[in-house]
Structure 1
């Protein structure tokens, strides 16, 4: 979803971006996003860097991101590029929620399940949540009812709606974005 920026001061990497004007975004956020991509998506892979090997994103890998949204989400550099793009649109909460749900589904401790579910609900689902995702009333209420007895599937409907929203709305714009096209050009230039 496209959301007007909130008037907040960033506190860390997952906090909203400063938001006075679009020119502020163009002058501060976009270069930072591109630098992040060149450091992380196109540069070296930290574990490989420690062993002295450099692993670079290939044009073939970056091109495959256009095959499907799930291909993009399954690739760590694709995920980093998509996150940088969503930050420029002030809608990174969608991806953060989807990732939080994926991590939540890996919870094996029944004792931690309820507290993790509550944190996700309060951060992304509850009305006026700090990083509230754009879901319909029925989905929000179903998720609220699911919180009475949290299970690994309690966010499935909300996560599905957010996935669908990103796939139909943000993903096509990402594929046309300067972030993605520059990244493709950068990988192609390295080949020549």
Structure 2
């Protein structure tokens, strides 16, 4: 959920700020996160870390992120770049919820299923949850009913709504963002 306050001055990474300062936030509040992402993705990290078998991001791979939202989510550097972008918009809870649901679907232990489902519900779905995602009342209530007998599909509708919201709203802005364009530029510079 995008939060903004026109009369709030950014005090730190957890304070809301007006959306008009997005590029300012991206360059001032998150420089370490952005630089770390760039370092790992384009291979400009310190020599000691380069000795491993680190895969570098190519311009072609980064360009493919614009093909579809699912291509972006399926690439580890794409996911990291999108997460960094969502942090600038104070809406990373959407991606964190989607990822929690993906992890939840891999649960094989019946004993863990109910406790994991409860944790996800309390963190993201419940009214006034600490990281409440923006879903409609009907989806929230369906998910609440699903919690009576949790299954691997109990979050499917809510996850689908959040995926659609990110794809239609955040993803196009990400593709126009300084984070993405800078990353593309850095991959291109490395090739020249």
TM range (shorter): 0.7 to 0.9
The answer to whether the 8 Å contact 2:23/2:178 transfers is no
The answer to whether the 8 Å contact 1:48/1:55 transfers is no
Structure-2 separation of matches of 1:48 and 1:89: 33
Distance change (3 Å), C-alpha of 1:18 and 1:106: farther
Q: Name the stretch that deviates more: 75-84 or 16-25.
A: 16-25
Distance change (3 Å), C-alpha of 1:54 and 1:155: closer
Q: Name the stretch that deviates more: 104-113 or 12-21.
A: 12-21
The answer to whether the 8 Å contact 2:13/2:29 transfers is no
The answer to whether the 8 Å contact 2:174/2:180 transfers is yes
Distance change (3 Å), C-alpha of 1:6 and 1:107: farther
How far residue 52 of structure 1 moved from its aligned partner, in angstroms, is 3.5
The answer to whether the 8 Å contact 1:94/1:133 transfers is yes
Question: Runs ≥4 in structure 1, deviation > 4 angstroms?
Answer: 5-24, 44-51
Cα deviations by residue, 1:121-172 (Å, 9 ceiling, x for unpaired): 0000000000000000000000000000000000000000000000000000
Matched pairs, number: 192
How far residue 29 of structure 1 moved from its aligned partner, in angstroms, is 1.9
Where in structure 2 are there 5+ consecutive unaligned residues? Answer: none
Q: Secondary structure in 2 aligned to 1:45?
A: coil
The answer to whether the 8 Å contact 1:16/1:90 transfers is yes
How far residue 31 of structure 1 moved from its aligned partner, in angstroms, is 1.3
Cα deviations by residue, 1:104-127 (Å, 9 ceiling, x for unpaired): 000000000000000000000000
Q: Secondary structure in 1 aligned to 2:20?
A: coil
Distance change (3 Å), C-alpha of 1:23 and 1:86: closer
Distance change (3 Å), C-alpha of 1:157 and 1:176: same
User: RMSD value over aligned CA atoms?
Assistant: 3.8
How far residue 17 of structure 1 moved from its aligned partner, in angstroms, is 10
* TM-score under structure 1 length normalisation: 0.85
Distance change (3 Å), C-alpha of 1:3 and 1:56: same
How far residue 35 of structure 1 moved from its aligned partner, in angstroms, is 1.4
* TM-score under structure 2 length normalisation: 0.85
